């Protein structure tokens, strides 16, 4: 079978499209024939070596498809089941071995492409807005990269919870997408200082929470956008890692909170995984949450997809199709 392998860390050129042996399931595992694999910034971090993974490895950790083999002790999973998953390496491939307890069954009216666009980013937006900082009516949040895959979903979920949303984007076209997703105000950070704009838009008060997936270039100024006892939620670092933080700064700026969450810790149990994925899929099925698939590419184009993602030339979700 074909897969995208990483033998050494580095730029997009290290993503090698090559032949590998077809996998066999072990105990409590299944083999999934991949219909679509999601591309995420965590894949970039692993490829660069920022998040170390033993080499060599097959890239990607989010996909949807059909169960073609079932190992012993795999519970009620059956051949032919349509499923999706995230958090398991090996998704940039035609076939992948996945622990049975990490699979989410797909309703008939949710396609594999929708599911592959939803699992990681949809559940990330869900836990950010409902658990990390549970948004309430009357809250105002700042969403960086508001036209990205998580950003568009986060804007929508924030509005479902009654919050006011201020988004930041790089272009006018992305600003329009953020507004369509429910952002009340959109700041073009390439033209205006987002800290000054947030203070202007909030009458100097600031926001209750900053959802920051950008990191290095936005973190310090984002702290200045928070109300007293506000929360900085750093859930990514597309511009690079944030410098070490003197915790005394949080006191000086208003007894702030800061957290660095990751999806893995919000879907630890199977019950939590099914509940979180189930609510997101229910919103999609009801039309309350709209997905934007920004592009579909052949598996062999993984390197080019990473280049576009890193250059911030993309909006919405990017998929690889084996």
Helix 172-180 to helix 149-160 angle (10° resolution) is 40
Nearest CA to 140 out of 120, 165, 162 is that of 165
Reported as a pLDDT band with limits 50, 70 and 90, residue 240 is confident
Please say whether the dihedral angle defined by the alpha carbons of residues 225, 230, 236 and 240, taken in this order, is positive or negative. Answer: positive
Q: What is the CA radius of gyration of the chain?
A: 20
Helix, strand, or coil here: 306?
A: helix
- pLDDT at site 312: 79
Question: What beta strand segments (E) does 128-274 contain?
Answer: 140-143, 164-169, 185-188, 207-212, 226-234, 257-259
Rounded CA gap, 322 and 320, in Å? 6
Rounded CA gap, 320 and 181, in Å? 24
Contact status, residue 14 vs residue 59, Cβ threshold 8 Å: no
- DSSP assignment letter at 131: I
Reported as a pLDDT band with limits 50, 70 and 90, residue 49 is very high
Q: Does residue 83 have a pLDDT over 90?
A: yes
**Over the stretch 200-231, which tens digit does the pLDDT of each residue have?**
999 999 999 999 999 999 999 999 999 999 99
Q: Does residue 18 have a pLDDT over 90?
A: yes
Q: Does residue 238 have a pLDDT over 90?
A: no
Helix, strand, or coil here: 210?
A: strand
pTM: 0.93
Q: What percent of the chain has pLDDT over 90?
A: 94
Mean pLDDT throughout 105-134?
A: 96
**Over the stretch 293-321, which tens digit does the pLDDT of each residue have?**
989 999 999 999 999 999 878 888 999 99
Token pair for 287 = 């039309």
- pLDDT at site 314: 82
CATH T-level assignment (fold) for domain 137-260: Rossmann fold (3.40.50)
297 forms beta bridges with: 320
Q: Compute how many other C-beta atoms are within 10 angstroms of the C-beta atom of residue 155.
A: 30
- pLDDT at site 102: 97
**Over the stretch 139-167, which tens digit does the pLDDT of each residue have?**
999 999 999 999 999 999 999 999 999 99
Q: Considering the domain 2-120+291-321 in this protein, what is its CATH number?
A: 3.90.180.10
The domains of the chain are located at 2-120+291-321, 137-260
């Amino acid at each position: 079978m074909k897969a995208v392998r990483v033998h050494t860390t580095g730029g997009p050129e290290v993503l090698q499209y090559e032949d590998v042996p077809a996998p066999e399931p072990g105990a409590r595992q299944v083999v999934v024939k991949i219909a679509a694999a999601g591309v995420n910034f965590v894949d970039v971090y692993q490829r660069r070596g920022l998040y170390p993974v033993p080499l060599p490895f097959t890239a990607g950790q989010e996909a949807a498809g059909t169960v073609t083999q079932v190992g012993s002790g795999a519970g009620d999973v059956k051949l032919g089941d349509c499923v999706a998953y995230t958090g398991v390496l090996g998704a940039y491939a035609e076939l992948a071995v996945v622990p049975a307890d990490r699979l989410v069954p797909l309703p008939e009216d949710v396609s594999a492409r929708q599911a592959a666009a939803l699992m990681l980013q949809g559940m990330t937006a869900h836990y950010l807005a409902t658990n990390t900082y549970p948004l309430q009516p009357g809250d105002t949040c700042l969403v960086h990269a508001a036209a990205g895959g998580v950003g568009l979903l986060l804007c929508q979920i924030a509005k479902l919870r009654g919050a006011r949303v201020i988004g930041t984007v790089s272009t006018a076209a992305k600003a329009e997408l953020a507004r369509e997703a429910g952002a009340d105000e959109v700041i073009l950070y390439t033209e205006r200082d987002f800290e000054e704009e947030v203070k202007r838009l909030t009458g100097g008060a600031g926001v209750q929470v900053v959802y920051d997936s950008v990191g290095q270039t936005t973190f310090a100024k984002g702290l200045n956008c928070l109300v007293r006892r506000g929360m900085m939620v750093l859930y990514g670092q597309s511009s690079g890692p944030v410098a070490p933080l003197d915790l005394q700064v949080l006191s000086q700026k208003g007894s702030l909170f800061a957290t660095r969450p990751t999806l893995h810790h919000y879907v630890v149990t199977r019950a939590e995984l099914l509940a979180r994925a189930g609510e997101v899929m229910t919103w999609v099925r009801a039309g309350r949450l709209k997905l934007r698939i920004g592009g579909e590419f052949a598996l062999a184009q993984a390197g080019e997809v990473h280049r576009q993602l890193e250059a911030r030339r993309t909006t919405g979700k990017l998929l690889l199709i084996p």
